[in-house]
Amino acid sequence: MNTHGEPNTKILNDFQELCRARGIPLTWQRQAVLAELRGRADHPTADRIYDAVRVEHPGISRTTVYRVLETLVDLGVVGRASHPGAAARFDAVTERHHHRLCTSCGRLEDVPPTDVHALDVDVDLPAGYTPHDYSIHFRGTCAACTSAGAPDVAKSNKEENPS
């Protein structure tokens, strides 16, 4: 259940098996939210997922979508991609990967692993510290915003509030 390209039937079958193994009911709400998220690569917020799911399921509540997303994260079926000062966004790719955020338009994209593996990062962790996960978030201006002349919000904020 880790890549956007897997067929939805396999994903839902794997999810059904996981729910059965963990003793968690396989509800239509969980299936609908997972199917919606698996069909996207844009790292949507919970509200965007809610808006999309309620098109086919108008009776679903916003609270239900939020709870389902938390359950899916707890199960390890989806990941939460967040960055300071912004709403949590959700990602159907659960393998370790990194992101780039456009500070002008807010677009959040996966960084191809080959790009990150080329970085020379020297990390000195304190003795006894055991990392369980890590990710790198690049903040900048995407090519579309740069060519459109969009302002770099992060740069503008720094100029207005120098530290």
User: Tens of pLDDT along 117-157?
Assistant: 666 666 788 888 887 777 777 788 888 898 888 776 555 44
User: What pLDDT score was predicted for residue 116?
Assistant: 67
pLDDT at 55: 96
- Tens of pLDDT, residues 4-18: 445 467 778 889 999
Report whether 69 contacts 12 (CB < 8 A). Answer: no
Q: Encoding tokens for residue 65?
A: 């979508």
- Predicted confidence (pLDDT) at residue 80 exceeds the cutoff of 70: yes
Give percent of the chain with pLDDT exceeding 90: 30
pLDDT band at 47 (very low <50, low <70, confident <90, very high): very high
DSSP alpha helices (H): ranges in the chain?
8-22, 28-38, 46-56, 62-75, 113-117, 143-148, 153-160
- Against a cut of 0.85, is the pTM above it? no
Rg for the chain, CA atoms, rounded = 18
User: Tokens 């965007």 correspond to what residue?
Assistant: 48
Q: End-to-end distance of the chain based on CA atoms, in angstroms?
A: 43
Local structure of residue 112 (DSSP, 8 states): P
More confident call, 128 vs 41: 128
pLDDT of residue 84: 63
**Do 82 and 89 form a contact (C-beta atoms < 8 A)?**
yes
d(CA 104, CA 151): 6
Contact call for residues 84 and 99 (beta carbons, < 8 A): no
pLDDT at 160: 46
